[in-house]
């Protein structure tokens, strides 16, 4: 009788361990909207005192657009890389005291979750066709944000400029690519 229970428990344990390993490989619109809302509300409107520090950062919107189904994987890769870049920008810390700490923490957790749950997008075979043309402008966009942060000494206004740019990026992704997200 005990051996029978142990066998069932082992079977259940193995099933529980294997079940979560299924690969989803999706971008979730709900998580994207939530991360957008958290980022938008963690600091409120763009502060007036930062207008003098405002820097124009060109936005590579073509990176998030596709003309046909073959380019969709390239766009998915660009979105995944956007999550990676956002995560990199936010891992330095030193955030403004004016931001809501709980919303900031929730935002960072959702970005990390999106990275983990869509990691396999980068492994799709057709991704090599279109993504290289999108990768350089996207990388340059986030490098510019990082440079602004460094030049402005990771100040409150620097963070607000970066937050505004990331909001613009997330909003564009949501608007242009809602059909490729679940």
**CATH 1.20.1250.10 at 25-180, yes or no:** yes
Query: Which one is predicted more confidently, 82 or 27?
Result: 82
Least confident of 4-13, 53-62, 96-105: 4-13
Please, are residues 33 and 144 in contact by the beta-carbon 8 Å criterion?
Answer: no
Query: Which one is predicted more confidently, 34 or 18?
Result: 34
Domain range list for the chain: 25-180
Residue 127's pLDDT is 45
Please, are residues 118 and 87 in contact by the beta-carbon 8 Å criterion?
Answer: no
pLDDT digits 0-9 by tens, 20-33: 444 456 788 899 99
pLDDT digits 0-9 by tens, 97-115: 999 999 999 999 999 999 9
Query: Which one is predicted more confidently, 18 or 149?
Result: 149
180 Cβ contact partners less than 8 Å away, ≥ 6 residues apart: 27, 72, 75, 76
| Residues 160-177, mean pLDDT to the nearest whole number | 94
Residue 173's pLDDT is 92
Please, are residues 104 and 92 in contact by the beta-carbon 8 Å criterion?
Answer: no
Confidence of residue 179 (pLDDT cuts 50, 70, 90): low
| Residues 9-36, mean pLDDT to the nearest whole number | 65
135 Cβ contact partners less than 8 Å away, ≥ 6 residues apart: 77, 78, 81
Query: Which one is predicted more confidently, 4 or 44?
Result: 44
Query: Which one is predicted more confidently, 80 or 26?
Result: 80
**Helical spans, DSSP H, in 19-100:** 29-41, 72-90
């Amino acid at each position: 009788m005990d051996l029978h229970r142990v066998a069932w428990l082992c079977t259940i344990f193995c099933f529980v361990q294997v079940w979560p390993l299924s690969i989803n490989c999706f971008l979730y619109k709900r998580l994207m909207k939530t991360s957008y809302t958290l980022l938008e509300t963690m600091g409120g409107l763009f502060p007036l005192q930062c207008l003098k520090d405002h820097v124009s950062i060109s936005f590579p919107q073509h990176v998030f657009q596709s003309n046909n189904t073959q380019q969709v994987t390239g766009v998915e890769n660009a979105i995944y890389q956007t999550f990676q870049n956002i995560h990199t920008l936010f891992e330095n810390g030193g955030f403004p005291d004016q931001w809501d700490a709980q919303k900031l923490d929730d935002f960072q957790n959702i970005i990390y979750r999106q990275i983990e749950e869509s990691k396999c997008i980068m492994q799709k075979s057709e991704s090599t066709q279109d993504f290289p043309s999108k990768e350089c402008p996207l990388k340059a966009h986030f490098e510019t944000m990082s440079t602004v942060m460094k030049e402005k000494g990771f100040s409150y206004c620097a963070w607000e400029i970066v937050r505004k740019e990331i909001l613009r990026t997330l909003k564009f992704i949501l608007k242009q690519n809602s059909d490729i997200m679940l």
